[in-house]
Structure formats: C-alpha cells, structure tokens
Amino acid sequence: MHLYKYEKIWLIFGTGVLALFLLIVGIGAFAMGHEPPSDDETIDPQKVRETPPFDNPGLKQIGDQEYELVIVAQAFAFQPSDIEIPKGAKVHFIVTSPDVVHGLAVAQTNVNMMVTPGHINRITHTFKDAGEYLMVCNEYCGTGHQFMGTRIEVVE
C-alpha cells in the first residue's frame, strides 16, 4: 500500500516535470520571437520570374518612409543591382532564390539571412545613416560566389 502511494507520487511528479520542460522549450522556441527569419511562405523556385512580387524586383514605397525591397538572389548576382534608399527608410527585404542557397548580408547592419530556394525570406531594417552599404552573399553558392555582391546607396 505504501509503495503504491510513493509510486503514484513519483509518477505525477515525473509527468509534471516533463510537462513543465516541454512548456519551457515551447515558449523558448516559439513564443519569444526566437523563430528563424520567416521562411514559412513558399514559392515554386522554377516560377520565381513569373510570381509576384519577384516578377518585378526592386524598391517599392508602401508608406511614409516605408519600403519593400524585392530581391532575387541567384548565381551569381542580386537583382536589382542598383539600390538607392532614402535615409531613414524602413525597408522590408523580401528575398528568394530560383537556384541554390544563397546568403544576404548588408555590412554595418543586422541584415543577415539565408536565402533558400522555395521559400520567401523576410527581414526588416531601418537605414538611419546615409552612405554606401555593401550587400554580399555569405553562403558559398558556387564558382562565382565571391563576385556575388552589390552596393546599397542610402541617400539624404
């Protein structure tokens, strides 16, 4: 009778600890914004060129000082290659790849993402200072990888 009672207590305790653990992991992973840069939107990599917004890459104003920057990252260049952004603009990068995995990193900012074919990758950054920012591919993607880069001009 005594043994049974202790067994029951431990069973409840064990189950409780497990539930608590799963809860902590769950909160840690999903609820606190620790998700990877969003790539839950998918796209057919074969049809990137026909699929909006990637049929027309470039900078589009969507609000007061707010822009969408649609980029196609492919071996071995970013499209568009000439990017001019007004100083102070909040820019939503929307990026995909029609071929292999690329990276997209903008020097002097927190913009650093993996660009996976089949997914639409997003990141937002506000360009507070004018100047020239180097945008490079930082995932090895083939023989032309080191040439894959361009400049973003942030103008007054």
Which of 71/154 has CB closer to ligand CUA?
71
User: CB neighbours of 84 closer than 8 A, spacing ≥ 6?
Assistant: 59, 152, 153, 154, 155
Asked if residue 126 lies in contact with residue 91, where contact means CB atoms within 8 angstroms, the answer is yes
Site stretch for ligand CUA (CB under 6 A), options 13-21, 26-34, 83-91, 136-144? 136-144
Which of 91/137 has CB closer to ligand CUA?
137
- Of the residues 10, 13, 21, 140, which one makes contact with ligand CUA according to CB under 6 A: 140
- 68 phi/psi in degrees, rounded to 5: -110, 135
- Examine residue 139 and tell whether it contacts ligand CUA (CB under 6 A): yes
Cα(112)–Cα(131) distance, integer angstroms: 19
Subset of residues 58 to 87 that bind ligand CUA, contact rule: CB under 6 A: 76
- Examine residue 102 and tell whether it contacts ligand CUA (CB under 6 A): yes
Helix/strand/coil for 3: helix
